[in-house]
Structure 1
């Protein structure tokens, strides 16, 4: 369990409250002094948080780190990626794009992004670049696109020229049309071997996730030009869309390719409980909505037929109650050696940074919940070249975690 200097203060206060004197008036004065000190500390802590000053925390196992606000006032920063050691390219769900200089907090606005359907959970979603990205190279986006009055998830790419995007093109406008404003996904990941993956939610229509004739409820795989690789699992299956890599997903808003272990991970929202971390393999069915660890929103009954069924995959980890995961990252840096290989997910509903230790077989060992005291809906995660973590919040902030 993480703690802050606030927790230390509380512990010391409780310890001090055991002190007694024979003089009752002195006791009253002592209690009043403690209250004044407590209020002063609380006010000082809030001022620090609001002004972006550094806050120290320590994780289980003794990893001490500092967290600092480096940008604020943004419109739900949804995706983030480093395009150089000193530049973060980020998207906002309202369709805006910016480049943040982490050292100074300066933001440059970028024009020419895709026209998004900004409604419900839709808008401009993820942004990603290939591992070998160089300035002027292709930048990839996912976004919700209007199509005949309905919303679909689309994958696009563009190049940056100065402060604008050029050569913008859709690579795939998915077959996922729905009038709901829910479950667009969507994250992008690269395997470093010429392929990209991107996730699409079930669009709020549960049967979609078991239907191979729609992209909804699936993770898709393409080459970097938007073509279907010949070794995709459903290329030769009649009635199945060839872009599908895996299916049976509800709403995967976190996905990450671990280049060291060559594993594709995803994390998805369950209904009322049943968020899942999955290790994604080609052609497999991850069960939604036939099996789930979640319950219905409108009654206390489980979703589907149970939690297991032959031919359907079990999650590496599930969460009850839901944490509402909005992102996923496998830590690979040197700044926090004790965290190497750990999974990190931003929790929206339960407002924390979720850390999960994974063994060499891909089994979840332990979980830790960091930054609980910030009470922020954590949306996107990215890692800097030096191994620092950056996270965005639905309140419009970008925060940095670095060693103390």
Structure 2
């Protein structure tokens, strides 16, 4: 377990992110690091993205998109965010920049939306021009809608082909995760215009919705692309126990709720099965539940001992989890930042080679994990 070593007074954070007041220094199995406070006062921040000019965009679940410039959180939210519903787990969720953002200013946002038919997960494509969003267009909407304000999922990633993966939770209608004519409980693969991606398993098959890539998911709130293989990795919340880490393969059923390593919140058994024919096993699972959220592979050079490791935020267990994986097997697991005592919502690789995290509270924070020698 990491140990809090001491408190240091810092000067200026690199990349022009401003003056910092405190940094906690930690010792872990493979690296020492300091935790630098970059910004505070965010309301339940959900996602973080780095702009080419060194500033950062952060989504707040209440519906605001914020910008951090030179280490200062702009008090005025960015105009032009889509109409949404902020209820329970719903609100403004993930943020994905187009790989050619510097040229086309295009980004994608996921969020919860409500109308007379209920709530759902939506994705818009927009352009960030002159400090506000414009040309916003809905490119994905999970159907049917449900009354629940939970299990929206909403993570977004883009693969090397430029296809976008959208995670959608089971909306607390768990049996619908096995219904391939229902968008709930699935990961969808679409083009940047919102069309079904070529090669999707449902194309030419009326029994499977044409945007579905995988199904049998409960609430996959973490998703990232493996830096070497290009495969999409995801994790999902189990019920009481049974949080899962998976590698996505098109047309695969990941089992929820027919198989699970968890039980219902009431303590009742959801299913007697952890294995069934035709359903994928997780690469790794947690009992008890840690409530995993954002995740990222470490690909930088500032921490050579972490290179290639997977970092996962935990909400319920309030920690950052480091996994070392070899040939599809977790060979090392370490809990970091347990002394911080905060729900970690997102984890991102920074362009300068450090790790960045968001904490989930009404006074949410942006932190940077930096080398101790800076």
Q: State the TM-score bracket (shorter-chain normalisation).
A: over 0.9
Please state how far the C-alpha of 1:362 moved relative to its aligned partner.
Answer: 2.5
Structure 1 distance, partners of 2:332, 2:53, is: 32
The aligned residue for residue 5 of structure 2 is 5
Structure 2 distance, partners of 1:374, 1:309, is: 39
The aligned residue for residue 369 of structure 1 is 335
Gaps of 5+ in 1: 7-40, 45-50
1:356 and 2:306 are equivalent in the alignment: no
Structure 2 distance, partners of 1:105, 1:335, is: 24
The aligned residue for residue 214 of structure 2 is 246
**Change over 3 Å in CA distance of 1:339–1:274 after alignment to 2:** same
Bigger proportion of residues as helix? 1
Partner SS state of residue 372, structure 1: coil
Structure 2 distance, partners of 1:5, 1:402, is: 15
**C-alpha contact (below 8 Å) 2:105/2:129 kept by paired residues:** no
**C-alpha contact (below 8 Å) 2:297/2:349 kept by paired residues:** no
Structure 2 distance, partners of 1:319, 1:187, is: 20
Structure 1 distance, partners of 2:208, 2:133, is: 34
What is the alpha-carbon root mean square deviation over aligned residues? Answer: 1.6
Structure 2 distance, partners of 1:119, 1:393, is: 19
Residue in structure 1 matching 2:271, options 288, 295, 304: 304
Partner SS state of residue 153, structure 1: strand
Partner SS state of residue 42, structure 2: coil
Please state how far the C-alpha of 1:302 moved relative to its aligned partner.
Answer: 3.3
Q: TM-score, normalised by structure 1?
A: 0.86
**C-alpha contact (below 8 Å) 1:209/1:216 kept by paired residues:** yes
Structure 2 distance, partners of 1:340, 1:173, is: 37
**C-alpha contact (below 8 Å) 1:254/1:325 kept by paired residues:** yes
The aligned residue for residue 27 of structure 1 is none
**C-alpha contact (below 8 Å) 1:352/1:371 kept by paired residues:** yes
**C-alpha contact (below 8 Å) 1:85/1:384 kept by paired residues:** no
Gaps of 5+ in 2: 10-19
Please state how far the C-alpha of 1:287 moved relative to its aligned partner.
Answer: 0.4
Please state how far the C-alpha of 1:149 moved relative to its aligned partner.
Answer: 4.8
The aligned runs of 1:253-402 (5 Å cut-off) are 253-299=221-267, 301-359=268-326, 361-395=327-361, 396-402=364-370
The aligned residue for residue 26 of structure 2 is 57
**C-alpha contact (below 8 Å) 1:130/1:192 kept by paired residues:** no
**Change over 3 Å in CA distance of 1:131–1:334 after alignment to 2:** farther
1:122 and 2:90 are equivalent in the alignment: yes
The aligned residue for residue 105 of structure 1 is 72
**Change over 3 Å in CA distance of 1:148–1:160 after alignment to 2:** same
**Change over 3 Å in CA distance of 1:85–1:302 after alignment to 2:** farther
Moved more, 367-376 or 65-74: 65-74
Bigger proportion of residues as strand? 2
1:94 and 2:62 are equivalent in the alignment: yes
Residue in structure 2 matching 1:164, options 119, 132, 148: 132
Partner SS state of residue 22, structure 2: coil
Structure 2 distance, partners of 1:199, 1:158, is: 19
